[in-house]
Amino acid sequence: MRYNWLRLTALPAIALALWSCDSPRQGDLQELVGPSARPSASSSGNGYRLLRGNDGWIGTSTALIGSGGGVLQLGEHELTVPSGAVSAPTLFTMTLEDAEHIRVELTATRALLLGGTLDVGKAGFARPVRLKLGFARATETFDVSTLSIAWTRPDGTLEVFPTEVNPSGKQARAELDHFSGYAVVVPRSGGE
């Protein structure tokens, strides 16, 4: 009886070890997907609006990132996952599906031993991850000092994050504790 119990408890550990050994290294899954027709996001929100950009460019990038951290890139956008942000290999995905605005959807999921997946991005990270959104493809005039990165909530409102802007590198950077949709935003002008 004891032998059967030991055998049953050892199976998940063996499966995890084999899965970890056969898992792709971080960055091995990175790919870019070409253009396709997608609806654009709403630009409504509390005093801010989405910055127009992208020139019709869309795509998806994925990377398997473990506890040691890693980087996921999609065009001029970059997600840096620091060491200790996740405790096990996690599939990070960045999708740019709004051809009219500088806006990405981020997900992070982990396969569970007994089947199914865990939405790590929704649950949050042990350490904040850093998102850099490039604005070189912006198609309108704006004051760089007013740029921010905002969480695009499902109800269309925007929650602005503390943002660092690199005008010469044309990137805005913010730290995130969970995943959803994020965009580069600017304040609304009086006529909007």
> Could you give the CA distance from residue 59 to residue 38 in angstroms, rounded to a whole number?
11
Q: Which of these, 26, 124, 125, 23, lies nearest to 70 by C-alpha position?
A: 26
| Torsions phi, psi for 7 (to 5 deg) | -65, -40
pLDDT digits (tens, 9 = 90+) for 58-72: 899 999 999 999 999
pLDDT, averaged across the chain: 78
Higher pLDDT, 119 or 21: 119
Neighbours of 150 (CB within 10 A): 25
- Residue that is written with structure tokens 């970059």 in the block: 78
Provide the pLDDT for residue 13.
Answer: 39
* Mean pLDDT on 48-55: 86
Tell me the residue length of the chain: 192
Provide the pLDDT for residue 192.
Answer: 52
Q: In what order do the strands lie in the sheet with 164-166?
A: 70-74, 77-81, 129-134, 171-176, 164-166
pLDDT value at 75 more than 50: yes
pLDDT value at 12 more than 60: no
Q: Tell me the pairing of strands 117-119 and 103-111.
A: antiparallel
Provide the pLDDT for residue 115.
Answer: 86
CA triplet 99, 33, 38: central angle to 5 degrees? 30
Provide the pLDDT for residue 161.
Answer: 92
Provide the pLDDT for residue 150.
Answer: 95
Beta bridge partners of 161: 149
* Mean pLDDT on 153-181: 91
pLDDT digits (tens, 9 = 90+) for 101-158: 999 999 999 988 888 899 999 989 999 999 999 999 888 888 999 999 999 888 888 9
Contact 76, 169 (CB under 8 A): no
